[in-house]
Amino acid sequence: MKRGVTTAVAALVLAAGLAGCAGSSAPAGSAGTSSDDAATTLTVFAAASLKSSFTELAETFEAQHPGTRVSLSFAGSSDLATQITQGAPADVFASADTKNMDKVTVAGLAEGEPRVFATNTLAIAVPAGNPARVTGFQDLARDGLRLVTCAKQVPCGAAAATVADKAGVTLRPVSEENAVTDVLGKVTSGEADAGLVYVTDVKSAGGRVDSIPFPEAGAAVNSYPIAALSGAKNQEAAKAFINLVLGSDGQQVLAKAGFGAGGQ
Amino acid sequence: MGRFFPAPDDAGCRGRDGPVSFSFQAAVAQRDFDVSLALGPTETVAVMGPNGAGKSTLLSTIAGLVRPDTGRAELNGRTLFHLGSGIHQWTPPHRRGTALLAQEPLLFPHLTAADNVAFGPRSAGVPPRKAKERALQWLAEVEAEALAGRRPAGLSGGQAQRVAVARALAADPGLLLLDEPMAALDIHSAPLLRRLLKRVLADRPAIIVTHDVLDALVLADRVVVLENGRIAEDGPTRQVLERPRSPFAAGLAGLNFVTGTLTASGIRTAGGQGIAPDLEIAGHLEEPGEAGQAGAAGLPGAAVFPPSAVSVFLTDAHGSPRNSFPVQVTELEPHGDQIRVRGGGLAADITPAASAELGLAPGIRAHFVIKSAAVSIYAT
Amino acid sequence: MKLRARQPYTGIPRWVSGLAVLSALVVVLPLVAIVARVNWANFIPLVTSESALDALGLSLRTSAASTLLCIVLGVPLALVLARGSFPFQRLLRSLVLLPLVLPPVVGGLALLYTFGRQGLLGGALQVLGIQIAFSTTAVVLAQTFVALPFLVVSLEGALRIGGQKYEAVAATLGAPPGVVFRRVTLPLILPGLASGAVLSFARSLGEFGATLTFAGSLQGVTRTLPLEIYLQRETDPDAAVALSLVLVAVAVAVVALAYGRPGGLQRQGPAPWGGSSRRPTTPGAAGGTVR
């Protein structure tokens, strides 16, 4: 009897392990969430930069749709896209770039065309008080100035490269970070003299960093697409949430956070 | 059966009143230890005592591994430590010249036997080649030159301890400290090492902690018995074993030991330790003073007699009633070709035939009758 | 599980063996999954790209440097912790072990606030003209911070098992502390030191969070292999998987080097003649003492 139980437990765990392993190639449905409250829960995967805006919008949505709870998951867009293609149970995906949204649409997991709901442009973040006296984009190439950017492999780094290219400035950052939050962290801690981040990041950092806008930023405008996912258990709620984001309420909240209006 | 152990070689006894090369007095409050001790230039002292009596503390304090609260020790005119109010002199272990040989050989496992022996000379600054030469000489001295190239892992317990002896001697210590060097050896290796130690200890001062009375007999000129951190007894080996003044020493010598008050003809037992009080044991007083045995009456004293001087009867109808003890037999055990009977805090040796005849078994009531001629009485 | 000939009785219940298999799978299965995902056709180009080689080289160099630093700093610390006696000793031991359980990011922040421009030592370092943040030195510091406990723990263990008996004997033979340390202590703890160094190296090799937070990420300067893998994952999962396999292979090689040898690193116990088996030596053997 005891042996039977042990064997069963072993088999179960083993099976779970194998299923997780196989899941990587075949994006099967759920990976073990209880479906009981799926009818009343809307799961939104959103890029990390959307945290404050989407938290506020989720509250608005819950107020407008009593009985529906919005569950938010924030992470880097590529992490989220990977999770979705691996079968994570999300209803809505809001990406910080079109590239990661493309991964989801190519996999056939998006319901309808993704719609751009916001844009974001780069800004120069400097430690409060601007100790290195950075006045414009040209200053970033100055000798001895400790500049931190994103790595070219991530969207904010790609944008920085585009802007630098257009402006004819050669940037020599002391560090190329994986995430815009890491860039911001180096600036807020004072380790870096300047960092290239998004306008919204500077906003969210509050008074700990100062922002220096620069006209060259217009060369790289980052679009944020949003889409309902085909695996969504609650298509109606997913569509309603997207409409909220695209509507005037949503746009107002996003503008407050520093986002530009979505071109749709 | 007047002597219960071989008489020690009197010629080798230097006593404690001769010249002194080592003097020691120390107190360690935390271990309730307070001992003073002195050694002649070639004297070997056996330190004995029950577990926890302070034997290891003594050696560690001499070697400098334990720091006493107060005290003073000198070796060959050099101060090892002098600690007291306002005085603070301390020689670290490596400058004391007090090599320690422990129960375990503790040969450095990463060095060959020869390199182990060369360790002391090397530490003293002797060039490697010279140190190695000296090591080989010492290995030869302990009949272990064949082991020179071996690692400790490849040595038997006895071989390793021999090498350890060579290592200790090669350091040319002013005082050799031995902490039960034979205790971990098997019955074949121990006699070999004992013989070796007898030879090398003959002309150098040494302190040997041991549980084995044989070590004291063979190796030591003097025995010091430690009990509860104090010296309970200190005297020439033969005297301590022949006339023990402590139960421990009596135990070592295999003697019955009864304390009490001296009377004109013997001793009146004080009782305690399993012995009934107010019993008379007749015996002859050793070293009576000018007043004679009667004059010593009333002093505290002890009666000492071998188990072979005790006979066992089932009734008290035999012998003089004065030396008859009613006892309850607690234990029977073989002892050589005799049976040792224990009861009432005493031991008696009888033949197996006698034991069988009496039908002895634990719990039986019997009488121990002591031959007064074999009883030594002395003041304590 | 039949008892095989010559195999001594183990006394392991069957369910324990079952769970042991399961626990082995927990470790092995993910490794298998990595191997299964490797794009073998492109493996060589992927792991020999300039950025990959830079990262691997940097990782090996910084890990070697931090291991050396761990030895230099860790041996004295372990000695003092194992054998010294001073106030707050236990507290210090707990603090030293903290990086073992601390999230690496916290370690990175702590280092930042110590060596960073505005950190505790930042001012002093700036006066000396030393800039640590964004330099390879920062990587080594971060790795040392997280790896030091491994060295200290395994060394302290070796020191405790050995006790101080050999050192005491060496001292009574006339060896001053320096000689005792060099000729007795060091050789005796060498196995513990080796295993500690290997663990430290392995931990340094895998260090990620503290480096990311404290040192930044720049090819050839601060972007070690784990950071490179993390970055490649954004755009080129195949490269990330291939590099992961390289890291796994290096780690396996290091661990095998240390623990794979028969008896390797296991010589820490007391000497085999082990005379601790004290014979009962009570004087009662002699006779009828009244005690």
**pLDDT tens digits, residue range A165-214?**
999 999 999 999 988 888 998 998 888 999 999 998 888 888 889 999 89
Q: Decide if C171 and B345 are in contact by the 8 Å CB cutoff.
A: no
What DSSP letter does each residue of C115-147 carry, written as one string? HSTTSTTHHHHHHTT---TTSHHHHHHHHHHHH
Alpha-carbon distances, residue B49 vs A198, B191, C279 (angstroms): 83, 22, 16
State residue A45's pLDDT score: 95
Quick check: C213 and C222 in contact, CB under 8 A? Answer: no
Percent of chain B surpassing pLDDT 70: 93
In this complex, is the C-beta atom of B125 within 8 Å of any C-beta atom belonging to chain C?
no
Any domain includes C265: yes
For range C123-139, the mean pLDDT: 86
In this complex, is the C-beta atom of C272 within 8 Å of any C-beta atom belonging to chain B?
yes
Question: With 60 as the cut, is the pLDDT of residue B205 above it?
Answer: yes
Searching chain B, which residue's CA lies closest to the CA of residue C168?
B65
Going by C-alpha positions, the residue among A165, A159, A161 that lies closest to residue A173 is A161
Task: Kindly state the DSSP code that residue B126 receives in the 8-state scheme.
Answer: -
In chain C, residues with a C-beta closer than 8 Å to the C-beta of B346 are 288, 290
In this complex, is the C-beta atom of C85 within 8 Å of any C-beta atom belonging to chain B?
no
Kindly state the helix (H) or strand (E) to which residue A262 belongs, with its residue range: none
Q: Note the pLDDT tens digit of each residue in A209-251.
A: 999 989 888 888 889 999 999 888 888 899 999 999 999 999 9
CATH number of the CATH domain containing A53: 3.40.190.10
Count of domains forming chain C: 1
In this complex, is the C-beta atom of C41 within 8 Å of any C-beta atom belonging to chain B?
no
Any domain includes A15: no
Percent of chain C surpassing pLDDT 90: 40
State residue C179's pLDDT score: 93
For range C255-273, the mean pLDDT: 52
Question: With 50 as the cut, is the pLDDT of residue B312 above it?
Answer: yes
For range B62-83, the mean pLDDT: 93
Q: Do chains B and A touch (3 or more CB pairs under 8 A)?
A: no
Question: With 60 as the cut, is the pLDDT of residue A1 above it?
Answer: no
Quick check: C114 and C65 in contact, CB under 8 A? Answer: no
Residue C221 pLDDT class (50, 70, 90 cuts): very high
State residue C262's pLDDT score: 47
In this complex, is the C-beta atom of B113 within 8 Å of any C-beta atom belonging to chain C?
no
Count of domains forming chain A: 2
Give the distance from residue C275's alpha carbon to the nearest chain B alpha carbon, in angstroms.
5
Best of A14, A146, A175, A193 to disrupt the C interface (most C CBs within 10 Å) is: A175
In this complex, is the C-beta atom of A190 within 8 Å of any C-beta atom belonging to chain C?
yes
In chain C, residues with a C-beta closer than 8 Å to the C-beta of B94 are 171-177, 180
Any domain includes C232: yes
Tally the C-alpha atoms within 13 A of residue A3's C-alpha that lie toward its C-beta: 3
Tokens describing residue B29: 């409050």
- Whole-number Å distance between alpha carbons of B22 and A56: 88
In chain A, residues with a C-beta closer than 8 Å to the C-beta of C218 are 173-176
Tell me, yes or no, whether A129 and A188 share the same domain.
Answer: yes
In this complex, is the C-beta atom of B167 within 8 Å of any C-beta atom belonging to chain C?
yes
In this complex, is the C-beta atom of C186 within 8 Å of any C-beta atom belonging to chain B?
no
Angle at A94 between CA A123 and CA A259, to 5 degrees: 30
Percent of chain B surpassing pLDDT 90: 42
Nearest to B251 among C174, C184, C287 (CB): C287
State residue C178's pLDDT score: 92
Tell me, yes or no, whether A204 and A141 share the same domain.
Answer: yes
Tell me, yes or no, whether A202 and A229 share the same domain.
Answer: no
Question: With 80 as the cut, is the pLDDT of residue B342 above it?
Answer: yes
State residue B244's pLDDT score: 87
Any domain includes A189: yes
Residue C235 pLDDT class (50, 70, 90 cuts): confident
Quick check: A85 and A27 in contact, CB under 8 A? Answer: yes
Q: Decide if C216 and A14 are in contact by the 8 Å CB cutoff.
A: no
Give the distance from residue C116's alpha carbon to the nearest chain A alpha carbon, in angstroms.
6
For range C50-79, the mean pLDDT: 94
The residue count of chain B comes to 380
Any domain includes A231: yes
State residue C4's pLDDT score: 55
Any domain includes A247: yes
Any domain includes C91: no
Any domain includes A91: yes
End-to-end C-alpha distance for chain A, whole angstroms:
63
Q: Note the pLDDT tens digit of each residue in C182-219.
A: 999 999 888 889 889 998 999 999 999 889 888 889 99
Any domain includes C289: no
Give the strands of the sheet with B266-269, arranged side by side: B280-282, B266-269, B256-262, B300-305, B376-379, B284-285
State residue B318's pLDDT score: 58
Question: With a cut of 0.85, is the ipTM above it?
Answer: no
Any domain includes C167: yes
Any domain includes A158: yes
Searching chain B, which residue's CA lies closest to the CA of residue C272?
B153
- Whole-number Å distance between alpha carbons of B242 and B376: 9
- Whole-number Å distance between alpha carbons of B39 and B74: 11
Residue B23 CB partners (closer than 8 Å, separation 6+): B36, B37, B38, B39, B72, B73, B74
For range C88-103, the mean pLDDT: 88
Q: Which residues 223-282 in chain B show a CB within 8 A of chain C? A: 247-248, 250-258, 273-275
State residue B120's pLDDT score: 94
Give the distance from residue A249's alpha carbon to the nearest chain C alpha carbon, in angstroms.
33
Residue A146 pLDDT class (50, 70, 90 cuts): very high
Alpha-carbon distances, residue B95 vs B21, B126, B203, C178, C281 (angstroms): 17, 15, 22, 13, 33
State residue B319's pLDDT score: 55
Residue A74 pLDDT class (50, 70, 90 cuts): very high
CATH number of the CATH domain containing C188: 1.10.3720.10
For range C35-52, the mean pLDDT: 90
- Whole-number Å distance between alpha carbons of B141 and C58: 59
Tell me, yes or no, whether A112 and A235 share the same domain.
Answer: yes
State residue C271's pLDDT score: 36
State residue A9's pLDDT score: 43
In this complex, is the C-beta atom of C187 within 8 Å of any C-beta atom belonging to chain B?
yes
Searching chain C, which residue's CA lies closest to the CA of residue A188?
C118
Best of B211, B225, B248 to disrupt the C interface (most C CBs within 10 Å) is: B211
State residue A2's pLDDT score: 46
Question: With 60 as the cut, is the pLDDT of residue B110 above it?
Answer: yes
Does residue B5 or residue B174 have the better pLDDT?
B174
Best of C83, C166, C167, C169 to disrupt the B interface (most B CBs within 10 Å) is: C169
- Whole-number Å distance between alpha carbons of C269 and C170: 19
In this complex, is the C-beta atom of B108 within 8 Å of any C-beta atom belonging to chain C?
yes
Say what angle helices A235-246 and A248-256 make with each other, to 10 degrees.
60
Q: Decide if C287 and B120 are in contact by the 8 Å CB cutoff.
A: no
Tell me, yes or no, whether A228 and A163 share the same domain.
Answer: no
Mean pLDDT (chain B, rounded): 86
The residue count of chain C comes to 291
Residue A236 domain boundaries? 37-119+223-261
For range B233-256, the mean pLDDT: 87
Residue C135 domain boundaries? 42-84+103-269
Kindly state the helix (H) or strand (E) to which residue A199 belongs, with its residue range: helix A199-204
For range B351-359, the mean pLDDT: 89
Mean pLDDT (chain C, rounded): 83
State residue C127's pLDDT score: 84
Any domain includes A1: no
What DSSP letter does each residue of C72-83 carry, written as one string? HHHHHHHHHHHH
In chain C, residues with a C-beta closer than 8 Å to the C-beta of B63 are 168, 171-172
Tell me, yes or no, whether A45 and A162 share the same domain.
Answer: no
In this complex, is the C-beta atom of A136 within 8 Å of any C-beta atom belonging to chain C?
no
For range B261-278, the mean pLDDT: 82
